[in-house]
Structure 1
């Protein structure tokens, strides 16, 4: 009797069998949610190692072929992403390798990668700084229509409602008229009143808000995440902070008070900022103001060319 290890080279490969039922071409076949690692330079020259979830896919253009060799996709992704930092060039090379590994069976490849990127952010006024975590998702494809690369991320910021601010100002005016005669007003008394609780009898509602972004870069442009984040956060003016001392909190309050915005305003600000970036050929934006007044959220969508 032959021992098992002597027949291991004859292990069956049913993936090459003719499909048991009528075959058809498949858009994508592959592996998703692979646990892996990427090394990524967000644009500051610091290449970080990040745990990632990876998807590797090819189409199956042969109706007479039952399946593909999944292990080839896994091993090629592991090889390429471990050996090279994550760039557009790395992704192109990986997808070419995926197609070569299934020559004659596929003519399109796709890679998806999701990970969290740490970015150091300075305080508004003090000398302190802290880490912000930005989620990153990359979706790349290679086929007859060429190389396509999209990057998604999120920016969290504060938004103060313009309508609520106007209503608050009205109440403060009414309280001032109640507390002071219409005649001559003493400067010192008014100054003291402004510093009291009566001087801010009402406050506008503000909320933590999220801008979800998808951008597609021109071929050859670097995946400069920090430049993208800076452009969007500067257009909004009130990104959430990390380390905060009193002077930083006061600066944040000033930014919110002088930077009132509805969700429509936020979406248009980001739209203008991304339109001005020559490295970005297309984009989609969704902003969500997670209301403190309502139990529901205020939402706006925008895209390139819709100004």
Structure 2
């Protein structure tokens, strides 16, 4: 079936611009979610997912809806260079200008994984590790910008380690209880070679989620700096490519950094609470238990002017 258009030069209908009786009811957020957008952050290309929206003011006999295509087109500015706070603020300003009189607030949310090349502990091997991130930006009567980073690490349970040591002590006593003479170093070494560890402590892959509120004068997103600070504080980041020497070094790092989730949260609190370029830091650690079918979780928050977690 063919369709004949008699007036090809006539303006196209714009349903969004039509007056709406119910427009006296304002909406807190109208926009799009799940937009695919290539961005660059911390010098790395990222395939990001973006949510973009504005509020819709209550206006008697106002327009029916917003023009989402205007928001979508404005996003292209974010793909032209390194993503910065200033670039995001400029885009949000354009969101509001494109709906002059209809909106007073604009919002952007980015999520994705940033890939960083990480060295092994001892050997010269390297591998890529993905760190999930989120950026949340809001512009209304004030400017609010947060960065959230996820860092995987290993946590060995202090209680399990103590219980395992106790088992080893008990087994050693049983095996040498009949020995009347002093025990030689060689005998102890042979015992470990034969018995190994009668019990082993449990450890698990864990996650540190750190959300920082950036200061008003932030020029860049401190993604790599924040990841490095988190990994240094915890001391047991998960590895990529390893040789046996690296695996042994990783076991040593775990043994020297036994952590409950409370310990991990406090380590991060100490490492981040003096960072003057953050207005607020929110910490969430998750120990994804190998002993239990549930996770162990701890939270801590530091805010400028406050000293309590």
TM-score (norm 2): 0.92
Q: Does 1:171 align with 2:167?
A: yes
User: Matched residues in 1 for 2:182 and 2:233: separation?
Assistant: 43
Q: For structure 1, which runs of at least 5 residues remain unmatched after alignment?
A: none
Partner secondary structure for residue 200 of structure 1? coil
> Does residue 92 of structure 2 align to residue 95 of structure 1?
yes
* CA deviation map 1:128-156 (0-9, x unaligned): 11100111111101110x21111112111
Equivalent position to 1:306, from 280, 286, 308: 308
Residue 48 of structure 1: how far off its partner (Å): 2.3
Question: What are the Cα deviations for residues 278-299 of structure 1, in whole angstroms up to 9, with x where unaligned?
Answer: 2221121211111111111111
Q: In the aligned structure 2, how far is the partner of 1:139 from the partner of 1:281?
A: 15
Relative distance call for 1:5 and 1:234 in structure 2 (3 A) is farther
| Superposed counterparts of 1:1-307, under 5 Å | 4=5, 6-7=7-8, 9-21=10-22, 23-40=24-41, 42=42, 47-63=43-59, 64-78=62-76, 80-144=77-141, 146-180=142-176, 181=179, 183-196=181-194, 198-221=195-218, 222-304=220-302, 305-307=307-309
Question: Structure 2, unaligned stretches of length 5 or more?
Answer: none
Deviation at 1:22, TM superposition (A): 6.0
- d(CA) in 2 for partners of 1:178, 1:100: 80
Is the 1:130–1:243 Cα contact (8 Å) retained in structure 2? yes
Residues 99-127 of structure 1: CA distance to partner in whole angstroms, max 9, x if unpaired?
11111111111111112111010100001
TM-score, structure 1 normalization = 0.92
CA distance in 2 between counterparts of 1:3 and 1:293 reads 71
State the shift of 1:5 in Å: 7.5
Structure 2 CA distance for aligned equivalents of residues 223 and 8 of structure 1: 48
Give the Å deviation of 1:217.
1.1
Indicate if the aligned counterparts of 1:207 and 1:290 stay in contact, CA closer than 8 A.
yes
Q: 1:71 to 1:167 in 2, by over 3 A?
A: same
Cα distance change, pair 55–5 in 1 and its aligned pair in 2 (3 A): farther
Change (3 A) 1:5 1:267: farther
Whether contact under 8 Å (2:17, 2:65) holds in the other structure is: yes
User: Cα distance, 1:54 vs. partner?
Assistant: 1.2
SS at match of 1:7: coil
Return the offset for 1:260. Answer: 0.3
The 3-state SS of whatever aligns with 1:12 is: coil
Distance 2:164 2:6 in 1: 81
